[in-house]
Amino acid sequence: MELPSQYNPKETEDKIYQLWQESGFFNPDNLPSRHKKPFCIIMPPTNANGNLHAGHALVMTIEDIMTRYKRMQGYKALWLPGLDHAGFETQVVYEKKLEKEGRSRFKMTPQELYKEIYDFTETNKANIESQVKKMGASCDWSRKKFTLDQDVIDTVYSTFEKFKKDGLVYRGKKIINWCPKHQTSLSDLETKDDERTDKFYYLKYGPFTIATARPETKFGDKYVVMHPKDKRYSQYKEGQKIDLEWINGPITATVIKDEAIDMDFGTGVMTITPWHDPVDFEIAQRHNLDKEQIIDFQGRLLPIAGEFAGMKIAEARPKIIEKLQTKGLVEKIDENYKHVVKVCYKCNSLIEPQIKEQWFLKMKPLAEPAIKAIKKGDVKFVPSHYKKIALHWLNNILDWPLSRQIVWGIPIPGDESGDTFDTWFSSGQWPYAALGYPKSKDFKTFYPTDVMETGGDLIFFWVSRMIMFGLYNTGKVPFKYVYMHGLVLDSKGQKMSKSKGNVINPLDLTEKFGTDALRMALVVGNTPGTSLPLDENKIKGYRNFANKIWNASRFILMQEEKRQATKNDKKLLKEFEKISKDIAKDMDNFRFYSAAEKIYHYFWHTFCDKIIEDYKKGEVGYDAIFEILTKSLRVLHPFMPFITEHIYQQLPIDKKQKSIMVEAWPK
Ligand SMILES: [Zn+2]
């Protein structure tokens, strides 16, 4: 038996993947009969709006390692792949594309836009699927799901109906985060805090001084609010009317006392703009005050602004201040006011709070069972500190605005304005929807799933919501473990971004070094929850390791005169048994970084450097090195599936199994 002198991943990998697909073993129904106990991972649905990035490569590697390991351990392993329409995320990507082409979504009918984005995602879906295959993912393509598949939509709708029946969704005219660029409302999670330095204006408001960074919202301010315990203003009584001169002429202000006012901030007196500020909105709700819109949804001033109507904020602000100065209403201007503002997490536009009629989901009743389940340990987090983070968020949860004013998504049934659901409303139902809840055999077999593996940044957006939805709909948690991986960084430890130009394309790396080498580089040293710098030198190191495996196998398979057994053999096999057990323990406890490193060191420094050398000296028998080789290949398989399969196929053994994939983990 002779292997070619060099291992060529480029030539081999696609053929091996094809062999796996033909074996049918990605589908748990086709596994040999020893595979009984179900094991299931639902793949986080990849956004169908671009290509596979380094983060995806990590997801595919870790989840594939888990699946292949469990399969070898005799589990009926299902890894169910999927893609996400990713609502706002995808529409943002597509709008950027339109912008580049000099087009705008606002000049298209919703139907035209939907059709174009649909075609765009169809193309991406095919790309992504082939890229996932490149990573060696042993997921069951016959069960793949898309979040816009009709059965998924049906599940989403019936959940919505159930929420309605239980009084958990309601339509409310409440204050929401509005992105004037993207023309949609956003949840709190879809906004970012941005520290800015702005001017801070102290304005004369009758007998008071009010301070504001946003004079353009002040046109409609007819309520002046102070803390009921503030002695400085004790002469003013609740409901008292005060006539005063304001930006566009005389107005009558009403005194309101409310404990939300911070006595130490500014002068301790403020006027309120309930339409454009969440705190002011709450005050207005408590005192049943009028709410007036000052800025429209495009970010322009409305007729209430008088001569400034129709202007954008940036243009209007200095002009308004100029007018206030002429009227002697500006007391002073602080030039260096540092404050935190909310911006759209996609375009960094300043969020303009607006009152809008929307669908909201009451979250407190959903959070309670989730909190209980997490505390009880029905869902466990790896690393464990995520438990505290999840509980903190769930304990402080607010109602969730579900409506988005974008076309790309699942339409909200019966919504007159044509709104779609926040994409996380459907992906939050992913584990049971993807398994064909409620009636399918898969749902009965594989739910609750075993592990949800995803990025730590999705703990609120996605993981917590899946737990809440799962418990609400099925009465069970959707998964027993949550494994949180960290970010993949560039070689200098910096976050990859297009603008920095340091984005690493994982497909370039598999092309250059082979997928197995990339997978090893992604997993060794990568403890859960921490970020991982990806260095080409590290990948090169594992390419060398692949060559080492190849050369050792080649040497062993080329031995014509096979040495007799020696007295050392038993001890060596025993030692291997110990290593294999130890690695299995790591695997069972999500320490893949450690498992991978152990087999790497064993194979290179013990097996190649010592045992094979001792064989050459006549101190080890052939059967022993052959057995250690084949068992090592099995332990290596979850990490380096291609080369191990390739060598397995050349082994002169009676292959009852068609693939190393279904060989048993060595004991
Ligand atoms: Zn935006």
Distance 407 CA to ligand 1 centre (A): 15
Q: Domains for the chain: give ranges and CATH numbers.
A: 14-167+362-488 (3.40.50.620), 184-355 (3.90.740.10), 506-662 (1.10.730.10)
pLDDT in tens, 455-490: 998 999 999 999 999 999 999 999 999 999 988 999
Distance 274 CA to ligand 1 centre (A): 22
- The pLDDT value recorded for residue 187 is 92
Distance 355 CA to ligand 1 centre (A): 17
Per-residue pLDDT for 346 more than 70?
A: yes
pLDDT in tens, 607-618: 999 999 999 999
CA dist 306 and 220 (Å) reads: 11
Phi, psi of 410 (to 5 degrees): -90, 120
Phi, psi of 149 (to 5 degrees): -65, 145
| Mean pLDDT score, 320-343 | 96
Q: What is the pTM of this model?
A: 0.92
CA dist 440 and 580 (Å) reads: 37
For the chain, what's the residue count?
667
Distance 181 CA to ligand 1 centre (A): 5
Nearest Cα to Cα of residue 523 among 592, 603, 600, 454: 592
Q: Is 286 left (phi over 0), alpha (psi -120 to 50) or beta?
A: alpha
Token pair 């239980």 is found at 166
Nearest Cα to Cα of residue 68 among 593, 656, 635, 627: 635
pLDDT in tens, 592-640: 999 999 999 999 999 999 999 999 999 999 999 999 999 999 999 999 9
Distance 566 CA to ligand 1 centre (A): 72
- The pLDDT value recorded for residue 317 is 95
pLDDT bin (cut points 50, 70, 90) of residue 502 is confident
Distance 178 CA to ligand 1 centre (A): 8
- The secondary element (H helix, E strand) that includes residue 223 is strand 223-226
Per-residue pLDDT for 1 more than 60?
A: no
Taking a C-beta distance cutoff of 8 angstroms, is the pair 152, 434 a contact?
Answer: yes
DSSP state of 255: E
Distance 217 CA to ligand 1 centre (A): 21
Distance 277 CA to ligand 1 centre (A): 18
| Mean pLDDT score, 297-313 | 95
pLDDT in tens, 27-84: 999 999 999 999 999 999 988 888 889 999 999 999 999 999 999 999 999 999 999 9
Q: How far is CA 145 from CA 58, 407, 443, in A?
A: 21, 21, 14
pLDDT in tens, 224-270: 999 999 999 999 999 999 999 999 999 999 999 999 999 998 889 99
Task: Give the CA count within 13 Å in the CB-facing half-sphere of 611.
Answer: 29
Distance 176 CA to ligand 1 centre (A): 14
pLDDT in tens, 79-99: 999 999 999 999 999 999 999
Distance 179 CA to ligand 1 centre (A): 5
Strands, DSSP E only, in 467-537? Answer: 479-485, 488-489, 532-533
Residue 252: helix, strand or coil by DSSP?
strand
Distance 193 CA to ligand 1 centre (A): 13
Which residues have C-beta under 5 Å from ligand 1, the single-atom ion?
179, 181-182, 344, 346-347, 349
Phi, psi of 515 (to 5 degrees): -65, -40
> How many H helices and E strands in the chain?
21, 23
pLDDT bin (cut points 50, 70, 90) of residue 415 is confident
Rounded to the nearest integer, the mean pLDDT of the chain is 95
Distance 221 CA to ligand 1 centre (A): 27
CA dist 187 and 404 (Å) reads: 9
Long-range pairs for 299-308: beta carbons < 8 A, 24 or more residues apart: 299/180, 299/352, 301/216, 301/219, 304/219, 304/220, 305/216, 305/219, 305/248, 306/219, 306/247, 306/248, 307/248, 308/216, 308/219
pLDDT bin (cut points 50, 70, 90) of residue 2 is low
Token pair 């690695």 is found at 583
Per-residue pLDDT for 3 more than 80?
A: no
Task: Assign 3-class secondary structure to 524-586.
Answer: CCCCCCCCEECCHHHHHHHHHHHHHHHHHHHHHHCCCCCCCCCCCHHHHHHHHHHHHHHHHHH
| Mean pLDDT score, 285-299 | 95
Distance 482 CA to ligand 1 centre (A): 30
- The pLDDT value recorded for residue 210 is 94
